[in-house]
Structure 1
């Protein structure tokens, strides 16, 4: 039977380029991160339980016991959590059976070229651009999945609904790409044997547990790269999830796979803390992979 995967997709940050934030002044986010939580369809039924466990983990144990048996709010939104609730949420899902793919745009670099700035200042263009990168990497990763000869996995994507996004236009753009009608062909391409533009779904964040967990992993990655109001990044959340980032080989190479920077790691103007975050993320992924293999799993 052909393996079927679902990628729940959410974003962290915004598309704005007019006034990027700095320690001296508030403004738009310096990064936009588009993230996917990849799960096999047969595990999708478990995602609701994973979300409920995550929500429970954000409540202190002495309060959790008092609430036992009571109806509790189950919707999960990372931005509404305090620091240690975010840590607890990431701890709660770090060993679940899913993969993480994040595409991260350093928006500062879009300001250097007037043509690019004008193009990406138009609503939806940067989001759609990152979506393409995300699907290229998701389908490449799934193409490595062992299948019967002549078969490839199927990928369905589920977007968290966002205001102003025309998903029908996005589908038409994917169809144009699939049919080879682009003026400029990309270096990589989406594997159209794995993903079809017909396999796009759009749901409200509050209605799908998978989208709520996608929000957690995407926001966790965003916090490791985007400086907060005091100028500091917070890598702890994503580092907790390091083993879930998809990778190229047993060395745990996640760059341009589970974690893609635009521009690339080598050319992106990163701070030393941001560089250390990415290298540590990769190191922890490699450690987790080596432990997994040594256990004969």
Structure 2
């Protein structure tokens, strides 16, 4: 079977790491408290413009290298400029942010049998794919688009097997198409997915992946207070014009997803809550909880 013609491209990147054996700040030494996985979705007709967009963004902050955005190397002021420039582009943005403290030393033995040791990364990707495919399906229907599929392009990171990610993508399709998803609150829209539309590249080879890095890093900066200093939410707030929202106009649990759920069960500080509250989360604990 050949790859179907596609309408959208979703560039996916991450910040933080998926380690669960030791998690800070519970452990003095261990993996990051947070992991963010992001997607930048662009129409196929505009995909060829992304390289130029990145060059323009770099020029706006005086970077001589116009081909690659190094968000982590920018000054605070330039990070804000980059986020604001990204928010002007014709894209849709998504992010899943997982606070890993409640996952410390957790094992999903069922998933491990199928997905090896990267089940946690794939689980976050699944949450992202559910929202991205819902948005693409909704847009294709509303605009009567002749094409509807989305191509997923992952940023290569150390320790991930992208053949396993592609296999997981295919598994999600089968589960959704057969009406038997393991988790049923959200279901990937199989009608816009294809196992032949999953690719991966080094970060520097695709400009779209650099935009996805801006999203993942901006939200990571907003919630991390261990590695990057105090929480800095201005970059993530600046992305609001292009963050995806639901049919009801809500960002939370759609364009911006916090794990664990419900949100008030997350053991996070008030400064870490701020960016989620900005995007519509309510951390008021119900009386019955």
Interval of TM-score (by shorter of Structure 1 and Structure 2):
0.7 to 0.9
Q: Of 218, 221, 232, which residue of structure 1 is paired with 2:219?
A: 221
2-structure distance, mates of 1:80, 1:132: 30
Q: Of 250, 253, 257, which residue of structure 2 is paired with 1:260?
A: 257
Aligned residue in 2 for 1:275: 273
Asked whether 1:100 is paired with 2:98, we answer no
Q: Of 138, 147, 155, which residue of structure 1 is paired with 2:150?
A: 155
Aligned residue in 2 for 1:244: 242
Contact 1:221–1:238 (CA<8 Å) still a contact in 2? yes
Asked whether 1:43 is paired with 2:46, we answer yes
Cα deviation digits, residues 120-178 of structure 1 (max 9, x gap):
8x7422111111111111111122211439x6721111001123322222222332332
Shift of 1:23: 11
* Aligned 1:25-104 pairs, distance under 5 A: 25=28, 27-59=30-62, 72-104=65-97
2-structure distance, mates of 1:183, 1:142: 21
TM-score by length of 2: 0.82
CA 1:211–1:39 in 2, change beyond 3 Å: closer, same or farther?
A: same
CA 1:46–1:282 in 2, change beyond 3 Å: closer, same or farther?
A: farther
RMSD: 2.9
Shift of 1:117: 10
Shift of 1:89: 1.2
Shift of 1:49: 1.5
Shift of 1:249: 3.8
Shift of 1:108: 0.5
Shift of 1:193: 0.5
* Aligned 1:98-137 pairs, distance under 5 A: 98-111=91-104, 114-116=106-108, 123-137=117-131
Shift of 1:226: 1.7
Aligned residue in 1 for 2:183: 186
Aligned residue in 2 for 1:14: 17
TM-score by length of 1: 0.80
2-structure distance, mates of 1:50, 1:26: 39
Shift of 1:20: 2.9
Unaligned stretches of 5+ residues in structure 1: 65-70, 284-297
| Range 272-281 or range 154-163, more displaced | 272-281
> Of the two, which has the highest radius of gyration?
1
2-structure distance, mates of 1:185, 1:116: 13
2-structure distance, mates of 1:139, 1:274: 28
Aligned length: 268
Contact 2:15–2:217 (CA<8 Å) still a contact in 1? yes
2-structure distance, mates of 1:24, 1:177: 34
* Aligned 1:196-235 pairs, distance under 5 A: 196-229=194-227, 232-235=230-233
Cα deviation digits, residues 186-233 of structure 1 (max 9, x gap):
212211101112110111111111111110111101111122348621
Contact 1:242–1:282 (CA<8 Å) still a contact in 2? no
SS of alignment partner, residue 125 of structure 1 = helix
2-structure distance, mates of 1:99, 1:41: 13
